[in-house]
Homo-oligomer: A and B are copies of this chain.
């Protein structure tokens, strides 16, 4: 087994991997940018090395600096986490050429699946269903309009190198096309360094259901069930669960087989996720394959009991999968709510600032995967995710109630968060019934709904705010007139203060 692994990431996923290393008796080497000297992943790692200034392009995306640290520290393998270099096939290749192990799939699999158009071709050949779309990248507005006219509006513009909702636009009519193309290209360039975009038929009100797959270097490929990820805002997942509330054993077997087929078709190794769109009639279409550990992997871990991060290291070390498909058993239900530093009252705008106080909930069935602690700064440089809160219980209804309880206990001040939004989702009737799709947030959460909270709590908040104002005024006056107050008898203190107020 490896003795030392470099974790080429930051935040909660770096922490997650460092813990997996620790638990396997492997030393973990962290890298950090100048503003991350005090970050949690630096503190938890066995070693930590500076790799550059705050902007990711000069630090966490700088493969050369990371390779240098790997050599200097004697690390034998590199775990990229998700984001940053995790889906950069060229870097994976460089790692290999440097004589180190890349904890992930081969460069060729990353390249194949990284190009949405190539991935589509491979899946079509392998017999995996796909959404109708342009065969290659789209350059001119005419091409785009031609496809849309043929497939019918609405269509979806996507960044060919993209992921995470960046560079994505829904176009519902020809008039919207020019602006949408411009915006998508701009984001794609900024985020992925490429203007390449393509178009797909937009499936109305689909569910987003993905399968966790795992392949070793000995030809074994299994899946670990599905995750339901339909609750999204700005095309970014925010609430995920395992299993999907609409999954049946038969459909799971069928989709699972497609997912395994997809992995085999690209010669896959290690952990991957095959994403599907599922329409209202439960037809499913290959969407894309993420060639890395997924943000929402914990819900699968809670339900299958399999430690995916440890399994990645195990498989990368050349060992065979310790599980066959029959060994994978799902127990109970798990839900994840991503806690972002965002103002859910204000259009989910990212919110920067220092975390003044942070205390997550705990107790049976509660797991927290956190990347920051009290006193840490949420900066503009990186993803504004604070942590992932996961609730497991014997059944979906109990898991929802547990998550709701846990969110109500969660305490963060200093930044605004998606916690109130998470509570509203847990209490939403459609969500509770399992009756939702990817349009859930925009359909159910008009800004007015977000502001209309439980009136009982609103009244409590009103009393608290008044008390504070009252108290502060009292304090201020007290300091101002310390002398006057001291000579008053204690019992008449309040009355005196009242009078004083009148006089100012």
Contacts and interface: CB of A to CB of B under 8 A. Distances in A.
Nearest to A357: B374
A23 B360 contact: no
A142 interface: no
A64 interface: no
A409 B367 CA distance: 15
Nearest to A44: B409
A368 B370 CA distance: 15
Nearest to A21: B405
A393 interface: yes
Interface stretch (A116-124, A127-135, A246-254, A301-309): A301-309
A333 to B, nearest CB: 11
Contacts of A360: 362
Point out which of A364, A374, A408 has the most chain B C-beta atoms below 10 A from its C-beta: A364
Interface string A297-339: 0100110011101000000000000000000000110000000
A402 interface: yes
A24 interface: yes
B15 A363 contact: yes
Q: Contact size class for A? A: 35 or more
B402 A364 contact: no
Interface string A327-371: 000011000000000000000000000000001101111111110
Interface in A384-424: 393-394, 398, 401-402, 405, 408-409
Contact of A362 (B369, B393, B408): B369
A364 B401 contact: no
A364 B301 contact: yes
A366 to B, nearest CB: 7
B363 A369 contact: yes
A373 interface: yes
10 contacts: A22-B405, A23-B402, A44-B409, A298-B364, A301-B364, A305-B331, A305-B332, A360-B362, A363-B367, A366-B367
Interface of A: 15-16, 19, 22-25, 44, 298, 301-302, 305-307, 309, 331-332, 359-360, 362-370, 373-374, 393-394, 398, 401-402, 405, 408-409
